[in-house]
Structure 1
Amino acid sequence: MRTTIHLRPLPRYEPPFDDELAPQVWSPPRQQLALDWSTPTPAPSPPPRSGPPAAEVPGASGDAKLAVRRFVHLSVEVLNGFRPAGHLRRLSLPSHAADVVAAGLAGAQWVGQLRRAKRTRRPAPVAVLKVHLCEPRAGAVEAAVVLVTGERTWALALRMELHQQAWVATALRLI
């Protein structure tokens, strides 16, 4: 049985202009509590501490995390054979692109050798177990990614830098 879909024309509607709106006068009920809109007084500041200043908490910015996530996802697709290693070039700094692509290609060949040695019908895909991020300075992020395929666990290390408002890979190592 097939359901019939009827399309009906939408009536023309334009919202009223500001000068066409009637002013809305609101009168509060007599028993409603009044809100206190006065500005609070600021709390006194603590006395200055002696000693070294507190160090910043290490971590990566949101943009850096997103860039690493995107690059790792693309790298795993290359390692699984779903993409050619040349696709890593567009997310790499042009001066380092050849090294990044070569590392991706070497990793894909290594995974292929592991799969041929196993000779199973459905080889286990490469999967990400954990990602550790560090932003040593503003505009640079380093990541260590724990990968697993079948019973083998290995690591991928990468560095990305911010160049011309885009995060690009400058180093990729498979360990």
Structure 2
Amino acid sequence: MSAIPHIGVTPAPEPPYDDEKSPAERPTPQVDGALALDALVWGPPGAIPDERKLRHLGQALAEVLSGRRPPETIADKLTGRAYRELVRAGRMIHANRPPFAKSLHVKEPRDGAVEMCVLVYCGDRNHVLAARLERRGVQWLCTDFETA
């Protein structure tokens, strides 16, 4: 009887998960015709979000409320209750063109809370979108929104 040669098998290392990769290595999410929010970082812990980033959040909310963006793409920017309300609300902005968040008004009613109102251009009829953000630990989350 001849000896069977021993074959050594070295397991290949498992590739890193997306959250283990550096930001440059992470795949870019595909959101057709909508603002990508991966870069929407509020800045230093505790800092109030700047107006440009608040406008981007308003734009993303308008895109969800017009049916042009899936709500899960901004789930990490909302509290659980606000996210459930966004999903339940469905399409509230009826537009014959993609919405465009333009004029923004921001106020800070108290430390740790920001309220914003943004005018959303939608073609024939414009809408107003209001949102409240509150600091939760080191991040800001949208806790409530409404549109008219």
TM-score by length of 2: 0.58
Which structure features the higher share of helix residues?
Answer: 1
Deviation readout 1:8-55 (Å, 9 max, x if unpaired): xxxxxxxxxxxxxxxxxxxxxxxxxxxxxxxxxxxxxxxxxxxxxxxx
Give the direction of change, closer, same or farther, for the CA distance of 1:143–1:174 in structure 2 (3 Å limit).
same
Number of matched pairs: 102
Indicate yes or no: 2:77 matched with 1:91.
yes
Q: Which residue of 1 aligns with 2:9?
A: none
Q: TM-score, normalised by structure 1?
A: 0.50
Tell me which amino acid in the other structure corresponds to 1:101: V
- 1:17-166 matches, cutoff 5 A: 62-63=48-49, 65=51, 67-103=53-89, 105-107=90-92, 110-111=93-94, 114=95, 123-166=96-139
Distance 1:64 1:102 in 2: 29
Question: For residues 130-174 of structure 1, what are the alpha-carbon distances to aligned partners after superposition, in whole Å with 9 as ceiling and x for unaligned?
Answer: 111011011100011111211202111110000011110100111
Gaps of 5+ in 1: 1-60, 115-122
- The Cα shift of 1:127 comes to 1.2
1:33 aligns with none
**Identical positions, percent:** 26
Verify: 1:170 aligned to 2:138, yes or no: no
List gaps (5 residues or longer) in structure 2.
1-46
Conserved? CA contact 1:64–1:167, under 8 Å: no
Q: CA RMSD in A?
A: 2.3
Deviating above 4 A after TM superposition, structure 1's stretches of 4 or more consecutive aligned residues are: none
CA contact (8 A) 2:55 2:101 kept: no
